[in-house]
């Protein structure tokens, strides 16, 4: 059943997890985050399609494609969280439930990181739990999907 799939989106610079500012982001890699997400999803009978890109258009194309075969989207937009209206519009446009996840506590960092363009459309927010937050976001989003279809 194709609607038992989630799209996992990781934005710019998340390919550097594990080496980029380990004091802020920890030593876990993007591969670790994706494996954790896949394990959490499989435990609930869901599949994951993962995409990471440093290019906004690639992420938007993946979000648009998700409307055909995914039940929801888990996204760590990276720096696009604070700058991208078009990424927000893509998420709103596909009308799928969204979980926003951030490895660091963006609300405790620089003031420009306090605003999220995704925050008001996401039904789940997991902030500052490190890579473990991916598993939590998957579980919470599946709870939403299974309880009310994500609406």
> 123: annotated binding-site residue?
no
Q: Is 104 helix (H, G, I), strand (E, B) or coil?
A: coil
Q: What is the pLDDT of residue 3?
A: 80
> 104: annotated binding-site residue?
yes
Has 25 been annotated as catalytic?
Answer: yes
Residue 112 corresponds to which tokens in the numbers above?
A: 């420009």
- Cβ pair 48, 6 in contact under 8 A: yes
> 113: annotated binding-site residue?
yes
Q: What is the pLDDT of residue 110?
A: 67
The active-site residue out of 39, 55, 64, 102 is 102
> 67: annotated binding-site residue?
no
Has 151 been annotated as catalytic?
Answer: no
3-state helix, strand, coil in the chain (%, to 5): 50, 15, 35
Q: How far, in Å, CA of 74 to CA of 8, rounded?
A: 5
> 89: annotated binding-site residue?
yes
The active-site residue out of 25, 64, 117, 134 is 25
Q: Is 35 exposed, middle or buried (0-12, 13-18, 19+ CB in 10 A)?
A: middle
Residue 41 corresponds to which tokens in the numbers above?
A: 């999803």
Q: What is the pLDDT of residue 111?
A: 72
Average pLDDT per consecutive 10 residues, the chain (151 residues; last block may be shorter): 85 86 68 96 98 97 97 95 93 97 75 79 94 96 84 48
Ordered structural domains, the chain, with CATH: 2-148 (3.40.50.9100)
* pTM tops 0.85, yes or no: yes
Q: Helices 30-43 and 132-148: crossing angle, nearest 10°?
A: 30
């Amino acid at each position: 059943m194709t609607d038992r799939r989630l799209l996992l989106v990781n934005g710019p610079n998340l390919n550097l997890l594990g080496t980029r500012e380990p004091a802020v982001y920890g030593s876990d890699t993007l591969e670790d985050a994706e494996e954790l997400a896949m394990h959490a999803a499989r435990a609930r009978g869901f599949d994951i399609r993962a995409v990471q890109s440093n290019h906004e258009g690639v992420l938007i194309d993946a979000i648009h494609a998700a409307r055909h075969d995914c039940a929801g989207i888990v996204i760590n937009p990276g720096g696009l969280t604070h700058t991208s209206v078009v990424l927000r519009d893509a998420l709103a446009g596909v009308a799928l439930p969204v979980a926003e996840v951030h490895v660091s506590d963006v609300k405790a960092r620089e003031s420009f990181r306090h605003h999220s363009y995704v925050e008001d459309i996401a039904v789940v927010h997991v902030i500052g739990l490190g890579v473990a937050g991916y598993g939590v976001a998957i579980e919470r989003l599946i709870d939403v999907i299974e309880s009310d279809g994500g609406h």
